[in-house]
Every structure is written in structure tokens, then in C-alpha cells.
């Protein structure tokens, strides 16, 4: 597609439920990144993919968070047993290569856990 596409754009969920956030990167971009941004805060790096591989998952806040990428394209970030502190905007970004090219962001998935 023309840009990074994320869905859902907004999600309200009850505490304890699982959520899945989807990211469709720019076509041809091999690198894909997930960031989290709480209201009024900076961007927190979560995980990145090079192709389908996630070499470093240390940015994930807890084992309730997981992510996968299939076919070198779409990625899904899953949060299990959501907590109120998970409320944030989850931003996906992609770049042609890792760490040397411009990264382009999607509009984010705004998650509210009530």
C-alpha cells in the first residue's frame, strides 16, 4: 500500500481480555517496528522485525506481549490479559532497511483498557 496501515485505529477493551493489533507495512519494506507511546510520553521501542525474524524482543514490557510477522509483510502485536497500564497508542513503522533509512509510521492503534 501507499503507507503503513494499522488496525484497529481505536480499541476499548476490558481488563483481562486479549487484543490483537495489526500492521501492514509499506510494500517492499523489509524492516518493521513496533513502538508504544503513552499520553504525553516519548516513544518506547517494543520490537523490530527484519523479514519474519525478530532478533531482539527485549523491548517487550512483559511476557503478556508477543508479536509475529508472516510473509515478510503483515505483523500482529498481541497483548494477553490486558491491564490498564497497557493503555497507549501502539505505533507501527517500516523502513526499507534497518536503521539506516527513513522510517514511516502508521497512524497508530489507540488502546484503552477499562
For another protein, the binding residues (CB under 8 A) are 31, 33, 35, 41-43, 45, 48, 50, 55-56, 91, 98-108
Residue pair 97/31 in contact by the 8 Å Cβ criterion: yes
Q: Which is nearer to another protein, 7 or 80 (CB)?
A: 7
CA-to-CA distance for 14 and 23, rounded, in angstroms? 22
* CA distances in angstroms from 100 to 3, 95, 96, 97, listed in the order given: 19, 9, 9, 6
Q: How far is C-alpha 11 from the chain's CA centre?
A: 14
The alpha-carbon radius of gyration of the chain (Å, integer) is 13
Q: Closest CB to another protein among 59 and 66?
A: 59
> Least distance (Å) from another protein to the CB of residue 77?
15
> Minimal distance in Å, beta carbon 107 to another protein?
5
Q: In the bound complex, what is the minimum distance in angstroms from residue 41's beta carbon to another protein?
A: 7
- CB closer to another protein out of 50 and 80: 50
Amino acid at each position: 500500500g501507499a503507507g503503513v496501515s494499522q488496525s484497529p485505529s481505536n480499541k476499548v477493551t476490558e481488563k483481562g481480555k486479549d487484543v490483537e493489533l495489526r500492521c501492514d507495512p509499506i510494500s517492499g519494506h523489509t524492516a518493521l517496528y513496533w513502538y508504544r507511546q503513552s499520553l504525553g510520553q516519548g516513544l518506547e521501542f517494543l520490537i523490530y522485525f527484519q523479514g519474519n525474524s525478530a532478533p531482539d524482543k527485549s523491548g517487550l514490557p512483559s511476557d503478556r506481549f508477543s508479536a509475529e510477522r508472516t510473509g515478510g509483510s503483515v505483523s500482529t502485536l498481541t497483548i494477553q490479559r490486558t491491564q490498564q497500564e497497557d493503555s497507549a497508542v501502539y505505533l507501527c513503522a517500516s523502513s526499507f532497511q534497518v536503521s539506516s533509512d527513513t522510517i514511516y509510521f502508521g497512524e497508530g492503534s489507540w488502546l484503552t483498557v477499562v
